[in-house]
Amino acid sequence: MRFNFHKFDRIMAQLEDLELPRREYQTEMMDMPVVGYFITDDEINAELASGSNFEGSKARIYEYFLEPHSQKEKADFLKNEYGTGGRSHALSGSDHSSQDHDAKGLRYKKSGCEEVKLSWTQVAARVDDLVKLDRYLSPKAMAQRQAILDAKMELDSTLERAKELIDDFCQDEYDSPADFEDLSKIGIGYTTVTDDEIPIQAYANLEDFRIERYLDGTLIDSRQYDSLQALIENELEDLDFSDLIDVTDEQVAMVQQKEQGWHYQVGDTVYLDDTAFLVEKITDREVQLRDPTLLYPIFRAENREQFERLLNDDERNHSLRGIAEVPGQPVAEEIKSSSEITQEHRYLVVACHHIANGIDEKLDYHTLEEVEKAAHGYLAGS
């Protein structure tokens, strides 16, 4: 069984209301007027708060309107930011709504509604109000922006601390301030080593959080950290000149060997990946190679930097270091076509057996070494 509970104070107020005198109004209107559909201010403001069609425009517009600019400057900024274009489903997600914009301003259309036109000056005034009322960005976007600003302030503070430590070191060590023009390469150490006066330079990279040391332009040491704070704690708070310019005999020998350079030319035999190749062509950018053991010429190309690294991996190539080029030897030659190579180096092996046709195989070879190898193979029955 369910029971009804009554509140006597509410019942009493309702009874007293019944005793109040009633007013009567007269009208000649027979029917309620028909109110047409229209585009609301809320719809327009919501669409404006979405920014233009370009990525990142919402943030750019917001930041610009926080700065002190005249209304004309703001209108011109919006005109440039929006450009010319438009989009559908612009108002309340309606299928039959759109927004178009050009140099004159914005135009809103919605099925059954009168078109709304706004000049860029009017658009700027609306965006200005939305920003001032904290209605241009959503609460979530505002929180994200604040978090980014806080992180940036912290990073700026950390960066200033790093620069202060570097500058103090340079003032104490060299009696001169540090140069912060390029934060990815701040000089913190320089001297020369050996009788050849090979330069060694040390740099602090505040953008990528590392210390780099170069011997005669060759990177010999890179100490990488996960953050600027870690770089400060592990390096910058205890910079030591002797540590920055310290090099080993092996590092010096490596650089001296590099200075000798590679001297290779067309026709040389080189060894890459434990395979012998002939150098067929050398250009400013690459070296083209051919494996002489292959029946048909197949070329391999390596850029020169990679090629010289590969040369260094095989001791058989070390004879090419420090050898001067032969006078008059061209640096680059054109690759001969397959037919030209065949005509220039043509050796014929014919295998004959007692069969009806007499000859069952006939192959061209490019070198005598290949001929001998093939001939021995036939004699051995392979």
HEC profile for 25-81? CCCCCCCCCCCCCCCCHHHHHHHHCCCCCCCCHHHHHHHHHHCCCCHHHHHHHHHHH
Average pLDDT over residues 358-375: 53
What would the mean pLDDT of 337-349 be, rounded to a whole number?
Answer: 40
Check residue 43 and give its pLDDT.
92
**CB–CB of 169/243 below 8 Å?**
no
pLDDT score recorded for residue 132: 92
Grade residue 22 by pLDDT with cuts at 50, 70 and 90: confident
For residue 210, is pLDDT > 80?
Answer: yes
In whole numbers, what is the pLDDT of the chain averaged over residues?
A: 82
Q: What is the mean pLDDT of residues 42-62?
A: 90
Task: Give the model's pLDDT for residue 327.
Answer: 41
d(CA 206, CA 162): 8
Q: What pLDDT, on a 0 to 100 scale, did the predictor assign at position 120? A: 95
Question: Would you state the structure tokens that stand for residue 123, as one six-digit string?
Answer: 């658009």
pLDDT of residue 335: 37
Q: What's residue 15's pLDDT?
A: 86
User: pLDDT (tens digit, 9 = 90+) per residue, 319-341?
Assistant: 887 544 434 444 444 434 444 43
Which amino acid type is present at position 354?
A: H
Q: What is the pLDDT of residue 62?
A: 92
**DSSP per-residue letters across 303-330:** EHHHHHHHHHT-GGGGGGBTPPPPTT--
CA quadruple 157, 163, 166, 171: dihedral sign: negative
Residue 221: is its pLDDT beyond 50? yes
Strand partners for 287? 282, 302
Task: Give the residue carrying structure tokens 């009806």.
Answer: 356
- The per-residue pLDDT for 154 is 85
Instruction: Assess whether pLDDT exceeds 60 at residue 50.
Output: yes
Q: What pLDDT, on the 0 to 100 scale, is given for residue 340?
A: 42
Q: Is the pLDDT at 99 greater than 70, yes or no?
A: yes
pLDDT at 301 over 80: yes
Tell me the C-alpha distance between 210 and 203, whole Å.
Answer: 9
- Which range of 78-82, 92-96, 215-219, 309-313 scores highest in mean pLDDT? It is 78-82
Q: How far apart are CA 260 and CA 251, in angstroms?
A: 15
Q: How confident is the model at residue 107 (pLDDT cuts 50, 70, 90)?
A: very high
State the pLDDT at residue 331.
41
Task: State residue 184's pLDDT score.
Answer: 93
The residue among 378 and 116 whose pLDDT is bigger is: 116
Which percentage of the chain shows pLDDT scores above 90?
Answer: 41
Residue indicated by tokens 């390096």: 235
Type of residue at 21: P
Please state which of the ranges 25-29, 154-158, 367-371 shows the lowest mean pLDDT.
367-371
Average pLDDT of the residues in 261-287:
89
Split at pLDDT 50, 70, 90, the class of 370 is low
How high is the pLDDT of residue 375? Answer: 58
Whether the per-residue pLDDT at 136 is higher than 50: the answer is: yes
Instruction: Please tell me which of 16-25, 117-126, 369-378 the model is most confident about, judged by mean pLDDT.
Output: 117-126
d(CA 50, CA 131): 12
The amino acid occupying position 23 is R
Mean pLDDT of 128-135: 92
